[in-house]
Structure 1
Amino acid sequence: MTFNTPNGTYGISLPPAAELHARNEPTIATIREGGSTPGMQTLVLITRGKKSGLERESPVAYFPLSDESWLILASAGGATKHPSWYFNLAAHPDEARVVLAGEEFPVDAEELHGPEREHHWQEITAAAPGFAEYATRTDRTIPVIRLTGRAA
C-alpha cells in the first residue's frame, strides 16, 4: 500500500479547518445516525491525525465496488494539496475505519496506481463528472483509494 502521489503547485483555496469542520458536522451526524445525504453516496472516514494523533472524521463521497469494497477520491475540490485525511491514511493506514448507514467498521486502505487507477478514474468521472472538473482546477493527480472492509 503506497500513498505517494505528490501535491500540486496550483489549485483552489480551501476554507480554514474550523470552517470545514463546522460545515461537515451535520453530514457526519446524519451518516452516523443511519441517514443518507442528497446527491453523492457519502461515508464517514475515520483516521488518526498524522501530526496530532487525534481521531478525525471526514465525510467522503464513495463509489461501491462490492459489498465490502469502496472507492474514494482525495479530490479536495481541486485544491493544491490533498485533503488532510489522505495524509492521515498514509501515516496510519491500519487505523482507518468507516461509517456507512450508521454502522462503523475497520477498513484497509490502498491507493491505486497505473492502469488500475486510470480504469476506475474513468468509471468514476463518467458517473460523477464533477470530479473531472476538480481535476482541471489543479495540476496534481487526484488519488483514487480503495477501502476494503475487514473483521474488527
Structure 2
Amino acid sequence: MAPGRRLVRRISSTRTFAKVAPHLIPSMDRAVHRLTRGKVLLSALMLPGVVLMARGARTGLPRTTPLACIPEEGDTWLLIGSNFGRTDHPAWTTNLLAHPDAGISWKGSTVAVRAQLLAGEERAAAWQAALRFWPPYETYQSRVEREIRLFRLVRR
C-alpha cells in the first residue's frame, strides 16, 4: 500500500476527521465535480466515488451527495452509510429508503440506478468487502450503536 494511502487511512479514522470531513469534503467534491462537468471528484483521487442524485425523503426535492463507493462487477456499486463514524445515519440513506430510484454520476456519465438496502447474509458479505476495501469503516462502526446501512446500487 502506498504511504499516502496509509496516512489517509490513519487520519480518516480519527474523531477530528469525523467532525471536520463531513463539512469540507462534500463541498469540495461538489465544486470540483461541477467545474469539471462531472468528470472529476476530488475525493476519488483516493477512493472511487460517485455523486448520488436522489430525491429528499420528506420534500421530494433533488439532492446531490458526493460519496465514496465500491464498484462491483456487473454494473453495481456498494454505498456505505458510515457518516464518518458519527452517531446518526446520513441523510442520503433516508432518502434512498424513501425513494430507491435514483441516479449517479460515475466517471462523467449519468447512470440510472435502483438502491437496495442490504440485510442478512448479503449485508454481511458486503460488509466484509467494505472492510477489505477501506478498513477505517470498522473504526466508524465501533464508535456508533447503530448498524451502518449498506446499499447496493443496480443499474436500471
SS in 2 for 1:77: helix
- Verify the 8 A CA contact 2:78 2:151 in the aligned structure 1: yes
Q: Which residue of structure 1 aligns with residue 69 of structure 2?
A: 62
| Partner amino acid, structure 1, of 2:46 | G
Following TM superposition, by how much is the alpha carbon of 1:67 offset from its aligned partner in structure 2, in angstroms?
A: 3.9
Per residue, is there more helix in 1 or in 2? 2
Q: Give the alignment partner of residue 122 of structure 2, picking from 116, 127, 138.
A: 116
**Deviation by residue 1:2-37 (Cα, 9 ceiling, x = unmatched):** xxxxxxxxx99867x987763442254367532252
- What is the Cα-based RMSD across aligned positions, in Å? 2.5
Paired AA for residue 30 in structure 2: E
Partner Cα distance (1:62, 1:31) in 2: 20
3-state SS, counterpart of residue 22 of structure 1? helix
Q: How does 1:109-148 map to 2 (within 5 A)?
A: 109-148=115-154
Number of matched residues?
Answer: 138
Structure 2 residue 84 is matched with structure 1 residue 74: no
Runs of at least 5 residues in structure 2 that lack an aligned partner in the other structure: 1-14
Question: What's the CA shift string for 1:72-92, capped at 9, x where partnerless?
Answer: 101101111111111111111
Q: Shift in Å at residue 139 of structure 1? A: 0.9
CA offsets per residue over residues 72-116 of structure 1, 9 Å max, x none? 10110111111111111111112x100001101210110111111
The answer (yes or no) to whether the contact 1:28–1:58 under 8 Å persists in 2 is: no
- If asked which structure has higher relative contact order (CA below 8 Å, sep 6+), I would say 1
Deviations 1:48-79 (A, max 9, x none): 01122210000111112214111110110111
Listed as ranges, the gaps of 5+ residues in structure 1 are 1-10
Identity of aligned residues (%): 31
TM-score, structure 2 normalization:
0.77
